[in-house]
Amino acid sequence: MDEVFKALADGSRRALLDSLNAHNGQTLRELCAGLAMARQSVSKHLAVLEAANLVTTVWRGREKLHYLNAEPINALAERWINRYHQARVDALADLKKALEGEPMSKPEFVYTSYIATTPEKLWQALTDPAFTRRYWGPAFETDWKPGSRMAWVEPEFTIADPEQVVIEAEPYTKLSYRWHTFTKEHAETHGLGEEFRAKAAAEPRSKVTFTLEQQGSLVKLTVVHDDFEPDSIVLSAVSGGWPHLLSSLKTLLETGETLPLPEPAAAR
């Protein structure tokens, strides 16, 4: 975590994080325009923030967009933040809240994690019911071919819907599918109110994409959850649930154990 503290120690880099917190998903040009820094300086600071995994990037056509990333702050909070005095805990908690909060500008969730595993094992963890039941809860019934339907199977219920389909499936590289619908059984099981369920079910179906990249002994996992409408209630829910779920996935692959579920369980 030395890289994280080093990155946060610089005022200019904190200003970049503040800028992204106010307007997530910016290009380099947009970041330069909003700050009194030269393009070269902004590029250098972004490189440090990316190396610390506090900022992640996604290409959209010819544009490279920059996003806040909650993964390193989650690691501090969940593994050994209690070793620090309260003032430092409060400062990190405020940053964690900002990083995990709903993006104010672009209706999408972006998260990057580096996992000590192989692309094959990570792919298995994303698709094999024996894995997904452990860190996530549901099992996915599908043949993982583009266009195929996929059912979400939990002990108490099954969610099957024609819109729940696999979009892309390149083994060990990329996986994308449409999110599940919000049924009454799902809401009751996970402690979601009827008002939330009705609003969530009325929204357009969102999409989640997992991109796997081998980087030495690690695999870089980037999760993009998008296709939300502005002020999406589903985006707010998954933004709160995804960081813990992905941290549990990382812990499972690296240690063989999962993280305990938060109480109450986050919407997912």
Smallest CA-to-CA distance from 96 within 68, 56, 66 is with 68
pLDDT band at 98 (very low <50, low <70, confident <90, very high): low
Token digits for 28? 């380099």
Q: What is the pTM of this model?
A: 0.74
Task: Give Cβ neighbours of residue 76 (< 8 Å, ≥ 6 apart).
Answer: 1, 4, 92, 96
Average pLDDT, stretch 26-37? 86
pLDDT at 121 over 80: yes
Report which listed range, 24-28, 77-81, 187-191, 205-209, is most confident. Answer: 205-209
pLDDT of residue 63: 87
55-82 pLDDT, tens per residue?
988 888 888 999 888 777 776 665 555 4
pLDDT of residue 79: 57
List beta partners, residue 141: 151
pLDDT of residue 131: 96
Task: Give Cβ neighbours of residue 149 (< 8 Å, ≥ 6 apart).
Answer: 142, 160, 162, 164, 165, 166
Q: Express as a percent the part of the chain with pLDDT over 70.
A: 84
pLDDT of residue 140: 97
DSSP track, 88-143:
HHHHHHHHHHHHHSPPSSSS-EEEEEEESS-HHHHHHHHH-HHHHHHHTS-EEES-
Token digits for 122? 């990570």
Question: Whole-angstrom distance between the N-terminal and C-terminal Cα of the chain?
Answer: 28
Average pLDDT, stretch 164-180? 97
Cα separation, 169 vs 149, whole angstroms: 13
pLDDT at 124 over 90: yes
| Cα-based distances in Å from 54 to 4, 20, 47, 168, 194 | 7, 11, 10, 27, 36
φ, ψ of residue 203 in degrees (nearest 5): -80, 155
